[in-house]
Amino acid sequence: MTRNTAPQAIERPAAAVTLGGRSLVLVGLMGAGKTSIGRRLALRLGLPFRDADHEIEQAAGCSISDFFAAHGEAEFREGERRVIRRLLAGPPCVLATGGGAFMDPATRAAIRDGGVSVWLRCRLATLVRRTAHRSHRPLLRQGDPETILARLMEERHPVYAEADLTVDCGDDSPEITTARVLEALAGHRSPMRVPVSLAGSPYEVVIGEHLLARAGAHLAPILPQKQAVVLTDETVARLHWPALAASLAECRIEARPIVVAPGEASKSLAVYGQVAEAMLAFGIERRTAVIALGGGVVGDLAGFAAATVLRGLPFVQIPTTLLAQVDSSVGGKTGINTAAGKNLLGAFHQPRLVLADTGTLATLPARELRAGYAEIVKAGLIGDAGLFAWCETNGAALLAGDAAVQAEAVASACAFKARVVEADEREEAARDGRALLNLGHTFAHALEAEFGFDGSLLHGEAVGLGLVLAFRLSARLGHCSSADAARVQAHIEAAGLPPTIASLGRHLGAASLLAHMQHDKKMRDGKLAFVLARRIGDAFTSREVDEGAVWETLRESGAAG
């Protein structure tokens, strides 16, 4: 007796694919191969296969064609919605949906919540050939199949584009298409989501790579109208506008760009006026969205325009700098500068969504990355000692461009800020609350004003130095240990940020800096407001700060007296 040693064609589960306990949902037009490919995927993934059309026929006790004839499409879609929700609520499976299922907003929402969706995209000629003999399709009975399919592609492709993944299947065999789907799934990583749970305007911060290329899919479900104005600056437009424009166009979101000069000078009344006039010239409506594509300057300016033009427009943040991703894009603060100081004209206007594509960080100069890092350090110093310790361990990797570390830092900082904003959305708490986010900012804004907002001192650099000065002042006043203040200064210096006023390389006077502080918007009853610290991770607000102590702290750091 001889032993058969020939290789066996055994289908094994695709171990490299992780669905996170969710179902795999196939969407696309009739003829795309959802059933044949779905069966193969189920075998490879070790999951049961479900066909929504078959499940509907089982529940209705008749064919879909007969159901259409007896009850019409509207009732069929309602039944389809119920069936898909039931299947997604059960154990994970591979689910093939009917061609029109994904067009229903409620069904799309259920699929987003319970599954990973894949659009099987085919050319018209392929679909016509595959459906030529399928007379049981109710929609194809209404005229010439090619004309009907072309119309359906025009209507449905912009909505199918909202699926998590798109796989072109063309005329290839089902086995080849199945392999492509598995390959796409193996490389797919669901973005991290940080909820900002505000009573009147909740939203999410979505964090991950390649989000610009998926922006249309993320925005289409939350925009009240498929029309938007995109505010960006010249530098960001060159780098990122083409990818965003293509993504929005794929989902049929009409977007018009407004491009301003880069830098803090664009946060002015003059530029705001130009932006507002441009928006109105576009013929915007109350449901037209304003999308901020850029760093903190663009986000603040776009947000203020969104808050004020037509008395308020839907707003979306797509921050492209580390500083904007971890701080300015979250929380709804918007504003522009005046000659009297920074952000003295502004409004609270929450975004509908924040898309933080960490891939954009690779395009930042090292100096910009360091400036954004200061805001992550700030979050740890205010109320999360563990986050600051994480920074001490991982800060070098983050600044060296480690994408996974950067994403983790963005998510941690956003989660911290979300908790603070949720507790005190408009900075109205009698003590502490959202005002704690101003740790280091009283010093920072004075430094920026002394530099004339000319870009030679970045906001994040000023904040980093402001953190050091806030801890030095806290130690001088006896609130925290000098060891904590030294630890903060050492980390700021290790990150490549200016640790002292002397390190700025410009002659700055203590009297002039104090004068700028007198114009700070946090002044109340003529008293300076500071955020101080009892220790790392334990900040508090105070209006009982001796001006002499501030003076001495500035002098100690290198300000002229």
Is residue 8 pLDDT above 50, yes or no? no
Rounded Cα distance, 102 and 185, in Å: 19
CA distances 336 to 225, 304, 354, 429, Å, are 27, 7, 20, 24
- Give me the catalytic one of 50, 156, 267, 445: 445
- Give me the catalytic one of 417, 434, 479, 491: 417
According to DSSP, residue 200 is labeled: S
Rounded Cα distance, 416 and 18, in Å: 28
For this structure, is 75 an active site residue?
A: no
For this structure, is 54 an active site residue?
A: no
Q: What angle do CA 218, 296, 332 make, to 5 degrees?
A: 65
Query: 481 lies in a domain?
Result: yes
- Give me the catalytic one of 44, 342, 459, 479: 459
Q: What angle do CA 224, 227, 228 make, to 5 degrees?
A: 100
Three-class SS state of 507: coil
For this structure, is 77 an active site residue?
A: no
Backbone angles phi, psi at 499, to 5 degrees: -95, -15
Residue 422: burial class (beta carbons within 10 Å; 0-12, 13-18, 19+): middle
- Among residues 327, 492, 532, 315, the alpha carbon closest in space to that of 416 is found at 327
* Kind plus residue range of the DSSP H or E element containing 56: helix 52-60
Residues 6+ apart with CB under 8 A from 474: 480, 485, 532, 533, 534
- Give me the catalytic one of 3, 12, 133, 311: 311
- Give me the catalytic one of 441, 472, 476, 522: 441
pLDDT of 329: 97
The last residue of one of the domains, among 187, 222, 244, is 187
pLDDT of 11: 47
Structural domain range at position 220: 192-364
Query: 408 lies in a domain?
Result: no
**pLDDT band at 342, cuts 50/70/90?**
confident
For this structure, is 445 an active site residue?
A: yes
pLDDT tens digit sequence for 391-431: 999 999 999 999 999 999 999 999 999 999 999 999 888 77
Residue listed under structure tokens 């019409």: 72
Q: Percentage of residues in the chain with pLDDT exceeding 70?
A: 94
Please state, as a whole number, how many other Cβ atoms lie within 10 Å of the Cβ of residue 497: 24
Is residue 139 pLDDT above 70, yes or no? no
Using an 8 Å Cβ cutoff, are 445 and 516 in contact?
yes
Q: What is the mean pLDDT of the chain?
A: 92
For this structure, is 73 an active site residue?
A: no
Do 163 and 209 sit in the same domain of this protein?
A: no
CATH code at position 231: 3.40.50.1970
pLDDT tens digit sequence for 267-282: 999 999 999 999 999 9
Do 47 and 160 sit in the same domain of this protein?
A: yes
pLDDT of 525: 65
Rounded Cα distance, 410 and 324, in Å: 10
Q: Give Rg (Cα) of the chain.
A: 28
Do 285 and 433 sit in the same domain of this protein?
A: no
Query: 374 lies in a domain?
Result: no
Do 200 and 151 sit in the same domain of this protein?
A: no
pLDDT of 141: 66
For this structure, is 50 an active site residue?
A: no
User: Rounded to two decimals, what is the model's pTM?
Assistant: 0.89
pLDDT tens digit sequence for 184-223: 999 888 899 999 999 989 999 999 999 999 999 999 999 9
Residues 6+ apart with CB under 8 A from 547: 514, 528
- Give me the catalytic one of 438, 450, 472, 491: 438
CATH code at position 151: 3.40.50.300
Backbone angles phi, psi at 278, to 5 degrees: -65, -40
Do 144 and 206 sit in the same domain of this protein?
A: no
DSSP lists the bridge partners of residue 192 as: 207
Rounded Cα distance, 430 and 541, in Å: 10
Do 261 and 314 sit in the same domain of this protein?
A: yes
For this structure, is 210 an active site residue?
A: no
- Looking at the structure of the chain, the number of domains it has is 3
- Give me the catalytic one of 333, 349, 370, 516: 333
For this structure, is 441 an active site residue?
A: yes
- Give me the catalytic one of 133, 431, 524, 544: 431
pLDDT of 144: 85
Is residue 530 pLDDT above 50, yes or no? yes
Do 209 and 166 sit in the same domain of this protein?
A: no
Q: What is the mean pLDDT of residues 99-119?
A: 95
The last residue of one of the domains, among 348, 364, 380, is 364
Please state, as a whole number, how many other Cβ atoms lie within 10 Å of the Cβ of residue 481: 15
For this structure, is 188 an active site residue?
A: no
Q: What is the mean pLDDT of residues 331-355?
A: 94
Q: What is the mean pLDDT of residues 361-387?
A: 97
The last residue of one of the domains, among 319, 336, 364, is 364
- Give me the catalytic one of 80, 209, 250, 375: 375
User: Can you state the percent helix, strand and coil of the chain, rounding each to 5?
Assistant: 55, 15, 30
Query: 385 lies in a domain?
Result: no
pLDDT of 522: 64
Is residue 51 pLDDT above 60, yes or no? yes
Query: 349 lies in a domain?
Result: yes
Rounded Cα distance, 348 and 333, in Å: 5
For this structure, is 333 an active site residue?
A: yes
Is residue 138 pLDDT above 70, yes or no? no
Do 153 and 170 sit in the same domain of this protein?
A: yes
